[in-house]
Structure 1
């Protein structure tokens, strides 16, 4: 599976499904540009991380594991 690039949007913590952070460390490589690059495991439906300013971000995927940004 190729690694999609998506824009980040804020999403409240209560809506998040926490993914395994050990598998997503490389998302921070693209953080400075405001974009994140990653691939989701097939059992993960959402990804969350907190940036240096303690802003929480969540990205969701659809059933085909294509990445969609949170509304």
Structure 2
């Protein structure tokens, strides 16, 4: 069965002021919790690690080595 791009995670390139879509999709996965984050809700990511986070708390946890 073929999946539409809407059911797959997007592939993004994270920059300091935004992100660029490399492969279309409707969400990305949080690098800490694994929860789906809709692209319209994505606010936290790491340019260095090239990964997304579902909340400021999860981003802090990951970036301080606690996650």
Tell me whether the two structures share a fold, i.e. TM-score over 0.5. no
Structure number with higher relative contact order (C-alpha < 8 Å, ≥ 6 residues apart): 1
Give the TM-score, by structure 2 length. Answer: 0.28
